[in-house]
Chain A
Amino acid sequence: QSALTQPASVSGSPGQSITISCTGTSSDVGAYNSVSWYQQHPGKAPKLMIYEVSNRPSGVSSRFSGSKSGNTASLTISGLQADDEADYYCSSSTSSSTYVFGTGTKVTVL
């Protein structure tokens, strides 16, 4: 199972919006609505930001939103803030009843 493809880095200025893509195949992202997104600050455990493509867990800012089209899912962060600077990973369930993560994207707030 190959990792889902994400851009290595994305940057934006405070207040701007950025979008991170996550491209898989018809056996994972394209097959299920079980795409989730995680934020990871250095030295910390990942934190769930989006589940089931577009749902936010309680406590996660509405500035984070998710979507999916075909084999590609996306995470949008609006109103970029300094604390949003972190690594972001997507994940999807697969047709093999396993999970696969994305390659990870480093978000830099300029």
Chain B
Amino acid sequence: QVQLVQSGAEVKKPGSSVKVSCKASGGTFSSSAINWVRQAPGQGLEWMGSIIPIIDIANYAQKFQGRVTITADESTSTVSMELSSLRSDDTAVFYCARESGGIEAFGIWGQGTMVTVSS
């Protein structure tokens, strides 16, 4: 069973960028889409975007267009999400989540990465 292992917590200054990685452990991404979901403290889940690593096509939520970039490195089974022009309200836990079997649902989740934006 593939697990998703994310990079560690980050503290960033306003205006900077953060890059969070998500590595498939115990397998590969195969043809599955990898999604990124944001959850601010005490708030709900927010879909940011996704990528299908095998064809390297990314899709982004309109809210994050121009500020988020999702990339994939099949050789290391790693997907990364970079968010730029960070603001204090970007403070959140970021999750990667995998679709599989052609099912449009997030069946496997990473453990989450806390990003704190503070001056």
- State A9–B93 Cα separation when bound (angstroms): 22
> Given A99-B35, A101-B46, does the pair A52, B105 have CB atoms closer than 8 Å?
yes
Are B105 and A91 neighbours in the complex by a CB distance under 8 Å? Answer: yes
> Is A57 a contact of B107 with CB atoms below 8 Å?
yes
Cross-interface CB contact of A45 among B46, B59, B111, cutoff 8 Å: B111
With CB as the reference atom, state the residue of chain B lying closest to A32: B104
Contact between chains at A45 and B62 (CB < 8 Å)? no
Q: Is B103 an interface residue (CB 8 A)?
A: yes
Q: What residues of chain B lie closer than 8 Å to A99, measured between beta carbons?
A: 35, 47, 50, 104
Q: B38-77: contact bitstring with A at CB < 8 Å (1 yes, 0 no)?
A: 0000001111001000000001111100000000000000
CB-based nearest B residue for A98: B61
Residue in B61, B103, B109 whose beta carbon sits within 8 Å of that of A1 in the complex: B61
Asked whether B59 lies within 8 Å of A51 as measured between CB atoms, the reply is no
**Bound form: Cα–Cα A3–B45 in Å:** 9
User: How many B residues face the partner with a CB closer than 8 A?
Assistant: 23
Whether A69 is near chain B, meaning CB under 8 Å from some CB there, is: no
Q: In the complex, which residue of chain A has the Cβ closest to the Cβ of B104?
A: A34
Contacts known (A1-B61, A45-B112, A46-B95); A101 close to B107, Cβ less than 8 A = no
Q: Which residues of A contact B (CB under 8 A)?
A: 1, 3, 32, 34, 36, 38, 40, 45-48, 51-52, 57, 89, 91, 93, 96-104
Given contacts A98-B61, A99-B104, 4 further A-B contacts (CB under 8 A): A1-B63, A34-B104, A36-B105, A46-B45
**Cβ contacts A to B, 25 pairs, < 8 Å:** A32-B104, A34-B104, A38-B45, A45-B110, A45-B111, A45-B112, A46-B37, A46-B45, A46-B97, A46-B106, A47-B109, A48-B106, A51-B104, A52-B103, A52-B104, A52-B105, A89-B45, A91-B45, A91-B47, A91-B106, A93-B104, A98-B59, A98-B62, A99-B104, A101-B44
